[in-house]
Structure 1
Amino acid sequence: MTFVTKLRFQSGNRYELESQVEDLKSMLERKGAECKGPHADPPEQIAVPQYRTLQPGDEFPSWDYTVYSRKLEIHGNDHIAREVGHMDFPESLHVEIEVEQKKPLGHLRD
């Protein structure tokens, strides 16, 4: 059985996000991992209301910012995927890791 490690990176700083993802992809390729991506999602515009007091009503202008996302997949190479899972990333980068088990074609379900 093969494992697919799906990585999702999000940040408000597009340049740092691009730099970290490209560095990671280079490292994966140097180590011989099969890597797909990075794939970019459209930027997400977020507006956060800011209130002057704890009660709604009197507001400051909303805080608007953009979140950029990239997705990367590592196929097989469990030891490399595990190594990536233990890496330290900058605080401005949000990282989600999902591991999916792929069964070979024709494999009967348990």
Structure 2
Amino acid sequence: MTFVTKLTFQSGDRAVLDDVVDDLKSLIERKGAECKGPHSAPPEEFSVPQYRSLVPGDQFKSWDYTVYSRRLEIHGNDHIAGRVGHMDFPSSVHVEIEIEQKKPLGQGRN
């Protein structure tokens, strides 16, 4: 059975995000694992209202920010995928890890 480790990275700092993803992709490839990506999603724009007090209608200008996302997939190298799961990333980068088990074609369900 093969495992696919799907990594999703999100950050408001595009430069830091790209550095983290590029460095990780280089590490994965140097270790001989198959890596697909990075795949970029369109940036998400958010707007958060900021209130001066608890009284409705009295507010500052909204806080607007952008979140950038990148996805990587590691195929078949469980050791490097486990190592990535224990790495420290910058606090400005949110990381989600999903592991999917793939059966070879032709194998039935148990």
Normalising by structure 1, we get a TM-score of 0.96
SS at 2:106 equivalent: coil
Gaps (5+ residues) in structure 1?
none
Percent identity among equivalent residues? 75
* CA RMSD after TM alignment: 0.9
Gaps (5+ residues) in structure 2?
none
Which residue type is aligned with residue 70 of structure 2?
R
Partner residue in 1 for 2:14: 14
Segments of 4+ moved more than 4 angstroms:
none
Q: How many residues align?
A: 110
Cα distance change on mapping 1:32 and 1:48 into 2, 3 Å: same
Partner residue in 2 for 1:23: 23
Shift of 1:54: 3.0
Cα distance change on mapping 1:109 and 1:56 into 2, 3 Å: farther
Normalising by structure 2, we get a TM-score of 0.96
Distance across 2 between alignment mates of 1:54 and 1:100: 46
Partner residue in 2 for 1:48: 48
Partner residue in 1 for 2:90: 90
